[in-house]
């Protein structure tokens, strides 16, 4: 994979707590291609945010550590860099959009200054030039009347406008990788759509690679090229959007798809995945999903499943893909979802054409 810009190999992140060592991320592997959008989905506590914090070097020290693994970016292993070296990369090559725009801007600093800070730091711009660039950025993210807005404070902006400012900050230095940690979760639905549209737009203009964290599968289908499904600190299934949505292989992915409400789901109730995620202080032996798996086999309790190859782009970590495993099909409800989604998609495409 020559066009990959970021390679994460066997990444582990742990946190020391009073209860013990939490193994938040337990061996994550993925690569990110130039200009693509990779979505990471999973429920709360699956390690998706921690993974991206590790990429940014923002794992809270001293409790958080990266005991194993590599984050390869431009011939450098980000996991091994010092804080000082990371400061040069953060905000320049890698930048981040946060979840809650209401709290992620400094309330006592003008937004212009907050945007200019990175420019002055990484691109050695003079104040005047940084301000000029900040105005361009505000324009780019669709904030009306930037000349006036640049001298205002965050409390003078609405939630959606603040998220646009946060995006402008993240884009300031033309980052090669943009990490968006649930950027639309805290926004209302109409604003969500606008922000997603904006991000797609920007990606086209700037050719940035995006890692998009979300637990909203609807958003994934909308923005991503590829999807990684995380469970209990590991990626359990990864593939293109079509692979994962229309040909899911992991029972956890089935569960996620089954629990997603759709427009025509009024006749059926939502299917919840039974049970709770495992305790990551003492991760279970074998497959971490075993306890919640309807199709559990003896080997799930004994050995962790490796990543089985489904196709060149599609991999999943479940023993069900082993050649000796019985042939198991997704539950009827999930199949129906998949076929519904397919039909919707093709009809949308027809309309577009």
Q: Which residues bind another protein (CB under 8 A)?
A: 56, 58, 83, 86-92, 95-96, 98-100, 103-110, 117-118, 121-122, 153, 155-156, 166, 169-170, 172
Q: How far is the CB of 3 from another protein (least distance, A)?
A: 26
Of residues 90 and 164, the one with the C-beta less far from another protein: 90
CB of 231 to another protein, least distance (A): 25
Q: Given its phi and psi angles, is residue 37 left (phi above 0), alpha (psi -120 to 50 degrees) or beta?
A: beta
- Min dist CB 48 to another protein, Å, is 16
CA distance 162 to 165: 5
- The C-alpha atoms of residue 99 and residue 213 are separated, in whole angstroms, by 10
Cα separation, 3 vs 5, in Å, equals 6
The rounded distance, in Å, linking the Cα atoms of 307 and 296 is 17
Q: Sheet harboring 209-214: ordered strands across?
A: 94-97, 177-181, 209-214, 37-41, 226-231, 234-240, 315-316, 308-309
The CB-of-208 to another protein minimum distance in angstroms stands at 15
Tell the smallest beta-carbon distance from residue 97 to another protein (Å). 9
Cα separation, 234 vs 26, whole angstroms = 6
Beta carbon nearer to another protein, 179 or 235: 179
Query: 148 or 322, CB closer to another protein?
Result: 148
- The smaller minimum CB distance to another protein, of residues 54 and 236, is found at 54
CB of 191 to another protein, least distance (A): 17
Which residues are paired to 25 by β-bridges?
Answer: 13
106 or 339: CB nearest another protein? 106
Q: How far is the CB of 22 from another protein (least distance, A)?
A: 18
Closest CA to 39 of 194, 225, 187, 177: 225
From CA 86, how far away is CA 16, in angstroms rounded?
A: 22
Confirm if 189 and 167 have CB atoms less than 8 A apart.
no
Min separation Cβ 37 and another protein, Å: 19
The answer to whether 101 and 187 have CB atoms below 8 angstroms apart is yes
- Give 227's contacts (C-beta < 8 A, 6+ positions apart): 38, 39, 40, 41, 220, 237, 238, 239, 240, 241, 243, 244, 245
- Using CA atoms, how far apart are residues 244 and 76, in angstroms rounded to an integer? 31
Question: Whose Cβ is closer to another protein: residue 170's or residue 290's?
Answer: 170
- Tell me whether residue 62 or residue 326 sits nearer to another protein (CB atom): 62
- 173 or 202: CB nearest another protein: 173
C-alpha span between 163 and 194 (Å, rounded):
11
């Amino acid at each position: 994979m020559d066009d990959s810009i970021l390679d994460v190999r066997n990444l582990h992140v742990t946190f020391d707590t009073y209860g013990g060592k939490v193994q938040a991320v337990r061996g994550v592997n993925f690569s990110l291609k130039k200009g693509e959008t990779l979505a990471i989905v999973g429920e709360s506590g699956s390690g998706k945010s921690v993974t991206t914090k590790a990429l940014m070097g923002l794992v809270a020290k001293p409790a958080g550590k990266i005991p194993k693994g590599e984050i390869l970016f431009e011939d450098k292993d980000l996991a091994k860099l010092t804080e000082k070296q990371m400061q040069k990369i953060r905000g320049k090559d890698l930048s981040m959009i946060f979840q809650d725009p209401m709290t992620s801007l400094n309330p006592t600093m003008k937004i212009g200054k907050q945007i200019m800070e990175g420019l002055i730091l990484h691109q050695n711009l003079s104040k005047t030039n940084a301000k000029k660039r900040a105005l361009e950025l505000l324009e780019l993210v669709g904030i009306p009347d930037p000349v006036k807005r640049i001298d205002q404070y965050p409390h003078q902006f609405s939630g959606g406008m603040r998220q646009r400012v946060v995006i402008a900050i993240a884009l300031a230095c033309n980052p090669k990788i943009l990490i968006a940690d649930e950027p639309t979760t805290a926004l209302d639905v109409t604003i969500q759509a606008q922000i997603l549209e904006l991000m797609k737009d920007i990606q086209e203009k700037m050719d940035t690679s995006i890692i998009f964290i979300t637990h909203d599968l609807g958003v994934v289908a909308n923005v991503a090229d590829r999807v990684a499904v995380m469970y209990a600190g590991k990626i359990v299934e990864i593939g293109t959007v079509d692979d994962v949505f229309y040909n899911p292989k992991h029972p956890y992915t089935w569960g996620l798809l089954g629990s997603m409400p759709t427009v025509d789901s009024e006749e059926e109730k939502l299917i919840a995945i039974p049970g709770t995620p495992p305790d990551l202080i003492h991760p279970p032996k074998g497959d971490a999903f075993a306890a919640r798996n309807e199709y559990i086999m003896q080997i799930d309790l004994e050995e962790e499943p490796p990543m089985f190859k489904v196709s060149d782009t599609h991999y999943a970590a479940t023993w069900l893909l082993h050649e000796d495993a019985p042939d198991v099909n997704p539950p009827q409800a999930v199949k129906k979802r998949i076929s519904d989604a397919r039909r919707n998609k093709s009809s949308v495409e027809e309309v577009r054409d």
